[in-house]
Amino acid sequence: MRDKILYGMGLAALFLLGFDIYKIANFPPEAAQGAIFKIIFFHVPAAWTAMVAAGTALVCSILFLMKKDFKYDAIAVASTEVGLAFLAVNLVTGSMWGHVIWGIWWTWDVRLTSALVCWLLYAGYLMLRHAIEEPTQRATYAAVFSIFAFLDVPVVYFSIRLFRTQHPGPVFLSSTGSFPPDWGMVLLLNWVALLLLAIVMTIVRLGHEQTQREIDYVRRMAHAL
Amino acid sequence: MPIARELPDVAVKLAQADRRRSSFTRLVFVVMAKDLRAELRTKEAVNASLAFAVVILVLFNFAFDLDDAATRMIIGGLLWLVFAFAGTLVLNRSFARELPNDCLDALVAAPVSGATLFLGKALANYVLVLAVELVSLPVFGILYNVWFPFGQMIIILALGTWALTVIGTVFSALTVNIRLREVMLPMLTYPMLVPALMGAMVLTAQLAAGTSIWGESATWLKVLTGFDVLYTAAALALVETVLVG
Amino acid sequence: MTAVTVDGVWKFYGDYPALRDVRLDAEAGTCLALIGRNGAGKTTLLRTIAGFAKPGKGAIRIFGQEPRETETRRHIGVIGHGIAVYDELSAYENLTLYARLYGLLDPRRAALEWLEQTGLERVRDGLVREFSRGMRQRLAVARAFLHNPSVLLLDEPFTALDDRAIAVLQRLLREALANGKTVIMSTHQLREALELSSHVALLNRGAVAFHGACTAEMVADPGWVYARYGD
């Protein structure tokens, strides 16, 4: 039953993505920046998906600390990993855009820089988890770190933005005209597709986490005998 | 057994009489004094930290063209990189010094809250890192002929160092008994410190350029203060969970 | 009156139960010896009673209170595997530190008194890192008894003690028990422990296999409990 839901969601996501790509390909290129501007359809929703993932991780971390139920810890780690993947998509698409427009692989634009710092932050979360053997301690410490990390996200964004107002630099992916409404619709549809993909990936990762816990349990049993 | 039955009551009454002696501030001071005394007796972390800071300051000389006045100002901002790296050497020791002989267990068992332990250690770290910074400043001034108005510089040092200390002390507790602790602590701390380091660097660079920190850069003071308040609150709230689980 | 109650305690590492439905109690003025193979859960149980770890299920009560309450912690003294004193401080500095942390009225007097009790008064200003092993162990004992705890939780306290330290500890424990304190001690040194104990509990793979009074039979043949109730 669970597998059927997963397949269903996956198919829906692929269908939506196919539909969107067809529409995107048929949109006229943007005035100032050409065809590469269409990367925004993936660049921005990827970031939004990563934010949703970070929020989910925060909520589950708090729930774990309150209830000590490992299923919350599992969702927190799965969600963080998926969020990191989508944030990486955001960074790579941003880099590609910068290269096509300006010939450089990176611009210290506000959003891109914030995304990079947040990526490093949550990569630290995963590194912390890898370094702790004992499951309860790992889940507890990771949850505390996740709360600290989430608190930092808005602070990072606002401080980088403050820096950029004082030291202006190239601004990223701003269009010269207004964003046409049918483009907006496709953007949102794409976000839905990416969210579906994220949910599928999270559930798959949850299954992996469950298996890992069972292996841990059996290993400890074996050592005790 | 009548004696046994009364013992807890008597003990409770004695404890209530001791409340003055067990006040939060006094206990924080006891923990801070312990850490400072232990560190100053060996001076391991402080010496390493200071040596590291001086070496990096010397290395800067080879990376920059120091005849350019503008460059000298940028170096002011880089000073915070030195402080962050050198500070980590001190912060790493913070909870790590409780590991030999299982001293951390005794501290957790004692009737002091996690917040007390954290604050005592954080204050001790603050004093030590500030000391390293205050020695580094004149060295920097002599080597690069960049001098800061002391009154304003001490404010930046006070705010920026507290940010470094708060995060570093909490993460020192988080990483105390995990693998590769010396590597994990910086890896976790620096991304989280980006806003605070940014603020401190901007303010220091501007100060070196002759701009007062109270001018248009005052917003950065607010950013730093906000960061300090936010993370001190978060640390005080969560440290008990880290220490006891 | 029951000093320590362990009520249906389970402790999990991940999903693995290190303690399984442990039910024990200790009356004030009694000494409970916890015995069992390595890995049976003795240290885990002691640490849970001391409040270092929270039970997954069940509850611990010390004089009816939670072990982690600040007031309860004042009455608990712990000796673990480590000596829990600072190498860089002197014996006197260590004891005054703990005396202050426990809110004692006169930390200096308490420290000096316990240095005498454990025979360390002549080395009071020596740094702990220069002490011999026996001296370090005696300082650990002083630290645990310093604040006059009503409940003493000792994890293999006689291991690695020299004869002088064993004598000191036995004397202090006898005095404590005579004064109505409660002692729970895990041990491999069955003879020294069983001589002091009024009760014995055998832990096997996290569960209590036996819990009862300490008989003359057990003291005479310490392996008897293992043979009868172990596997």
SS3 state of residue B230? helix
Element (DSSP H or E) covering residue C58? strand C57-62
* Residue A127 burial (10 A CB sphere; 0-12, 13-18, 19+): middle
Asked if C75 lies within 8 A of B11 by C-beta distance, the reply is: yes
pLDDT at A225: 67
Q: Does C58 touch chain A (CB under 8 A)?
A: no
The most confident of A58-62, B59-63, C23-27, C30-34, by mean pLDDT:
A58-62
Asked if C14 reaches chain A (Cβ–Cβ under 8 Å), the answer is yes
Quickly state the pLDDT bin for A41 (edges 50, 70, 90): confident
pLDDT at A81 over 60: yes
Confidence at residue A28, expressed as pLDDT on a 0 to 100 scale: 73
- Total domain count, chain A: 1
User: Chain C, 163-222: which have a CB under 8 Å from a chain A CB?
Assistant: 205
Say whether B241 and A148 touch across the interface (CB within 8 A). Answer: no
Of A120, A140, A147, the CB nearest to B191: A120
C14 to A135: CB separation less than 8 angstroms, yes or no: yes
Q: Give the pLDDT confidence of B40-54 residue by residue, as tens digits.
A: 998 989 999 999 999
Size of interface A-B (CB pairs under 8 A): 76
In A, minimum Cα distance to B235 occurs at: A148
Which residues touch A203 (CB under 8 Å, ≥6 apart)?
A: A2, A6, A78
Residues of A in contact with C205 (CB under 8 A): 224
Chain B CB within 8 Å of residue A66 CB: no
State how far the Cα of C197 lies from the Cα of A141, in Å rounded to an integer.
39
Residue C174 in contact with partner chain B when CB distance is under 8 A: no
pLDDT digits (tens, 9 = 90+) for C110-133: 999 999 999 999 999 999 999 998
* Distance of alpha carbon C108 from alpha carbon C120, whole angstroms: 15
Q: What is this model's ipTM?
A: 0.89
Q: How do beta strands C151-155 and C57-62 pair?
A: unpaired
Of C3, C48, C5, C183, which Cα lies nearest the Cα of B11? C3
Residue C84 has its nearest CB partner, among B18, B101, B113, at B101
Q: Which residues contact A169 (CB under 8 A, 6 or more apart)?
A: A107, A108, A109
Integer-rounded Cα Rg, in Å, for chain A is 20
Q: For residue C47, which residues of chain A lie inside 8 Å, CB to CB?
A: none
Residue B17 within any structural domain of the chain? no
Across the interface, whether the CB atoms of B3 and C180 are under 8 A apart is answered yes
Contacts of B242 in chain A (CB under 8 A): 140-141, 144
> In angstroms, what CA-CA distances link C104 with B238, C95, C124, C131, C162?
28, 11, 19, 26, 30
Q: Does C16 touch chain A (CB under 8 A)?
A: yes
pLDDT value for B128: 97
Yes or no, beta carbons of A128 and B174 under 8 Å apart: yes
The reported pLDDT for the residue numbered B9 is 59
**Is B15 inside a domain boundary?**
no
Residues A1-15 pLDDT 10s? 778 888 888 888 888
Judge whether A36 and A21 are in contact, CB under 8 Å: no
Provide the angle, in degrees to the nearest 10, between the axes of the packed helices B24-42 and B44-63. 70
- Asked if residue C157 has pLDDT above 60, the reply is yes
Radius of gyration of chain B (CA): 21
CATH number at residue A103: 1.20.120
Using the Cα atoms of residue C123, residue C127, residue C130 and residue C135 in order, give the sign of their dihedral.
Answer: positive
Distance from B244 to chain A by nearest Cα, in Å? 10
Asked if C98 and B3 come within 8 Å (Cβ–Cβ), the reply is no
Q: Mean pLDDT over residues C170-199, rounded?
A: 89
Q: Angle CA(C98)–CA(C103)–CA(C104) in degrees, nearest 5?
A: 85
| Higher per-residue pLDDT: A23 or C204 | C204
How wide is the angle at C-alpha B147 spanned by C-alphas B144 and B148, nearest 5°?
140
The answer as to whether B4 is a domain residue is no
User: Are residues B195 and A159, on separate chains, in Cβ contact within 8 Å?
Assistant: yes
**From A222, which residue of chain C is nearest by alpha-carbon distance?**
C16
Of B30, B42, B113, the CB nearest to C97: B30
> What mean pLDDT value characterizes chain B?
87
A136 closest CB neighbour out of C14, C39, C205: C14
Mutate to test the interface with B, among C100, C106, C139 (most CBs of B within 10 A): C100
- Per-residue confidence (pLDDT) for residue B4, from 0 to 100: 46
Cβ B5–C105 below 8 Å, yes or no? no
Report the residue from B167, B191, B242 with minimal CB separation from A117. B191
Q: Name the domain count of chain B.
A: 1
The residue segments making up the domain with residue B148 are 24-244
Chain B residues touching residue C104 (CB < 8 angstroms): 18, 21
User: Contact B221/B203 with Cβ under 8 angstroms?
Assistant: yes
Tell me whether residue B125 is in a domain: yes
pLDDT-based confidence at residue A31 (cuts at 50, 70, 90): low
**Candidate from C63, C84, C98 with C-beta closest to B105:** C84
For residues B125-149, give the mean pLDDT. Answer: 90
- Residue B110: which of C54, C71, C102 has the nearest Cβ? C102
Q: Over 70: is that where the pLDDT of B147 sits?
A: yes
Mean pLDDT of chain A: 87
Averaging pLDDT over each range in B92-101, B190-199, C47-56, which range is the top one? B190-199
Q: How confident is the model at residue B1 (pLDDT cuts 50, 70, 90)?
A: very low
Q: Which domain holds residue A56?
A: 2-224
Mean pLDDT of C189-210: 86
- Examine the pLDDT at C179 and tell me if it is beyond 70: yes
